[in-house]
Amino acid sequence: MRPIIFILLVFINSSFFIQPANAQLYLKFLGHSTDSIYPKLQDANEKDKMHVYNELAFYHSIFRADSAFYYAEKSLQLAEKYDNRCEKAFALRNMGNAYGLRGEYSQAVYHLQKALSIFEELGSKRKIFELCVDLSKLNYDMEDFERSIFYANKLELLAEQEERNGNLLATPFEMVIITGLTAIVYRDKADYDESIKYFKNYIELSKQLEIPVYIHRTFVESMAETYNFAGEYDSALKTTYEIRKDLPQNRDKPLPKHTGYEREIGRLLNKLGNPDSALPLLRQSLIINKKNRSFFYSSSDACYLGDVFLSQKIYDSALYYYRDAIIMSTKMYHQTLMGKTDAYQQEVYSGYQQFFEMSQAEAFQLYYRQMYRNYRRFYKVYKAMGEAIPALENHELCAAYQDSFNVITANIEERKLQARFQTERYEQQLVLLEKDNSLKDSQLRNNRLILFGTIIILLFILFLVILFFRQQRLRADQEKLQLKQRLLRSQMNPHFIFNSLASIQNFIVKQDDTRASIYLSRFSDLVRSILNNSLRDQITLEDELNTIEDYLELQKIRFPEKFDYTIEVDENIDPENMFIPPMLAQPFIENAIEHGIKHKEIKGNIYVRFKLNESKIFYEVEDDGIGREKAQEILMKYDKNHESLATVITRDRIKVQNKKFKRKILMNIIDLKNDRDEATGTKVIFEIPF
């Protein structure tokens, strides 16, 4: 849905920019020619050309970054020559949006903030309003949702303030659209309650206006998607049915005859436990998208069909559709990444070509993610069928694409982090500039001695504040680094590594090549996952499940016939779209094996459960070992200086997570006992809000 907010924000900016003299610019945005702009250059003098160049730069900043830079640069040169600050700010704004189009976020932030500061000096409220729209969109692209919402709220405050002063800064139509866009930002921030609140507000406000059909439909689709992300599948399905009723082809038709949104409805029906009704809808969606050469959606349709058949254990059909998904993803790759991109945009999302350009890096990221998930699905099918060799081959392909996805994702995130840092630094400069201007004004009212003393005091306080926060940040970074190092040491137990390698070597000596290859692949996957995940604050539940399963399988090599394990996931949880801190429970699983079950005379059990309750995930690790007290007694006999780091490190990690994300993760350790007060195991429970 990321392209949607771009389309609508550009739509708003286009409508903001329209004046009777340049209405043709808006028409061009809708697909008409720019012939009405270019002729203005022929008879215009230099001062008039300055504005025409900016009109062309504005138009191209929506589509083609290079052309936007060319015209903005020409306008900027003339603005400097004639000292026209308004046109200079307009040119800087066009440059900023062009940089954002190319994914060069630091430069985009710099130019947009510079344009905003000029418009603020000029007191141009409308232009300030437009820049806030640009900055909200840019921060959304950088996934800095807090700052995106900050500018969205600033838009509302500016409009309300001007309305109280008797001025109309924005039309009711524009404010309704901004309400819908704010809902989308909250949705991507995973604040679903706030998102639904804004969507409902949009619905009520839109009833009073004539919203274009395609825009209204986009917002209601986003509302249905928000319900889906929140796990409210009934509401998502109901909302989707409501959208479908308004489609032109369904007018004057009874409900059973309605068509449209087959993929969305089919997937929701499957999640609600009705796969038989989901299959024909997903098949129909696949046929339509193949006919339209919409390879991205065709690949998704095929994956969803395969998932339905996999859940029903119809493996041949699941493999058929997963192969089809691979083919569609490959066609998307050739259509999108290997085609010419100098004239028009990347064609990933069918229907968005005229509005949205996806950067090369983001297009590769999308492709690698699809291929990784496709091969992961192949691996699951072959594993369920008990075919080890194909399972291993697909597992290796899955790992290769996952590595490529991780590398390119890290590069994209690095650019976004640099841009966020640039934003913070520039805003600090603006704060200092405002203080400096305030001091200059006070100089006219106060004598030199008082002014000098005030400046010294303010600078000293400012220095102390900067020094304090700098020390706090350095200390926090140092603690975080130390915590990550301790986490790695606790996760990568040397005995576990050497014993796992010894077990794999044993398979090789026995010439059991297949099992040796499978467990060597699991071992490499586990090491990769631990190293990757230890650097990330949040991972998908699917990645966490894969890491836990790899770890437990390797531990079973060390302790054959010593324990069994069970992993249970609530059916209402979507592992691919649910995010949790990585490796929370791994140290406790290791403790359960090493100290709880290892000393047990009979075979033990380990249970890993993920339950959904309202707005929380309950993450449980339970074993039926000898209990913590007995395990501690045994440890004291052999190692009196032994210190368990699992609880200390995990509590430190939770403390960091709670502070960073402003949500409270709770951990509780329960000693299980029977009616005779005898230890029967240990249970660790994490409560994770989402």
Q: DSSP string spanning 137-196? A: HHHHHTT-HHHHHHHHHHHHHHHHHHHHTT--SS-HHHHHHHHHHHHHHHHHTT-HHHHH
Residue-level pLDDT at 5? 45
**Length, in residues, of the chain:** 690
Write down the domain spans for the chain.
1-170, 172-260, 526-689
- The token duo for 441 is 């004004």
Q: What pLDDT score was predicted for residue 436? A: 63
- The four Cα atoms 142, 144, 150, 153 give a dihedral, to 10 degrees, of 70
pLDDT in tens, 97-132: 898 888 788 888 889 989 999 999 998 888 999 899
Helices (H), 492-576: 494-509, 513-533, 541-558
Report the C-alpha gap between 541 and 293 in whole angstroms: 32
Q: Which residue, 304, 298, 300, 242, is CA-closest to 268?
A: 304
Domains 1-170 and 526-689 share a fold: no
- Amino acid at residue number 547: T
Query: Three-state SS for 352?
Result: coil
Task: State the residue for tokens 């894969």.
Answer: 546
What is the per-residue pLDDT for 483?
Answer: 52
DSSP calls for 20-59:
GGGHHHHHHHTT--STTTTTHHHH--HHHHHHHHHHHHHH
- List, for residues 265-276, the tens digit of each pLDDT value: 988 998 898 999
d(CA 636, CA 393): 46
CA dist 3 and 8 (Å) reads 9
Q: Which CATH number fits domain 526-689: 3.40.50.300, 3.40.718.10, 3.30.565.10, 3.10.20.30?
A: 3.30.565.10
pLDDT of residue 366: 80
pLDDT on residue 684: 94
Task: Find, among 312, 309, 304, 223, the residue nearest to 267 by Cα.
Answer: 304
Q: Please name which of 665, 664, 662, 659 lies closest in space to residue 472, comparing C-alpha atoms.
A: 659
Q: What are phi and psi of 422, to 5 degrees?
A: -60, -40
Distance CA 391, CA 376 (A): 9
Please give the pLDDT value at position 47.
Answer: 85
* Bridging pattern class, strands 604-613 and 666-673: unpaired
Q: Which amino acid is at 209?
A: L
Which residues are registered as beta bridge partners of 17?
Answer: none
In this structure, what are the phi and psi dihedrals at residue 112, rounded to the nearest 5 degrees?
-70, -40
275-301 burial: b if 16+ Cβ within 10 Å, else e: beebbebbbebbebbbeeebbbbbbbb
Exposure letters 71-92 (e unless 16+ CB within 10 A, then b): bbebbbebbeeeebebbbbbbb
- 3-state secondary structure (DSSP) of residue 13: helix
- Asked if 592 and 555 touch (Cβ cutoff 8 Å), the reply is no
Q: What amino acid occupies position 678?
A: E
The CA distance from 669 to 646, in Å, is 12
Segments in the chain below pLDDT 70: 1-36, 336-360, 416, 419-445, 447-448, 474-500, 502-503, 506-507, 510-511, 534-535, 638-646, 660-662
DSSP alpha helices (H): ranges in 260-387? 262-271, 275-291, 295-311, 315-336, 360-385
The pLDDT assigned to 287 comes to 92
The pLDDT value recorded for residue 12 is: 45
Measure the CA–CA gap between 320 and 215, rounded to whole angstroms. Answer: 37
Of 409, 311, 306, 411, give the one whose Cα is nearest residue 365.
Answer: 409
Centre a 10 Å sphere on the Cβ of residue 430 and count the other Cβ atoms it contains.
15
451: Cβ contacts below 8 Å, ≥ 6 apart: 439, 442, 443
Task: Look at strands 616-623 and 579-580 and give their pairing.
Answer: unpaired
Integer Cα distance of 657 and 537 in angstroms:
8
Class of CATH domain 172-260: mainly alpha
What is the structure's pLDDT at 30? 33
Neighbours of 462 (CB within 10 A): 13
C-alpha 363/C-alpha 336 separation (Å) is: 8
- The answer to whether the CB of 166 falls within 8 A of the CB of 159 is no
- Cα torsion for 668, 671, 674, 675, to the nearest 10°? -80
- Other CB atoms within 10 Å distance of the CB of residue 463: 10
- Assigned architecture for domain 1-170: Alpha Horseshoe (1.25)
Q: Which residue type is seen at 641?
A: N
